[in-house]
Amino acid sequence: MAKFGFGKGLLMGAVLGTAYVLLTTEKTGKERQQGIADYFKDLTHQTNNVSDSVKEFQSALVNLKQEVEQTLKPTIADIQQSVTDFEFQAQPRLEQINETTEQLQKDLEQLS
């Protein structure tokens, strides 16, 4: 089975839909011409809307990338530095707590 891209599928659907409508409706030639013209105007309008939406989405992605680079990366670096500073400051306290715990264990063993 052949695979079609979105654009080819959209075009194929538009052509098949138009052919179906032309073959099944009971309209005069002028009515059909006007209907076809209206259909293609609408299709063109919708295609332009999709194109505009894609451009807006691309712009939003660029803005998001810039925002991430300007705010998130420095924030992560600040958090990492804060953690490093905390670990450095807490190390002597943790050693003192461990020493005190060991001494308490020894004292408990001597009492038992």
**Per-residue pLDDT tens digits for 81-102:** 999 999 999 999 989 999 999 9
Residue 44 CA: distances (Å) to CA of 21, 27, 47, 48, 70: 18, 23, 5, 6, 39
More confident call, 44 vs 11? 44
- The mean pLDDT value of the chain amounts to 87
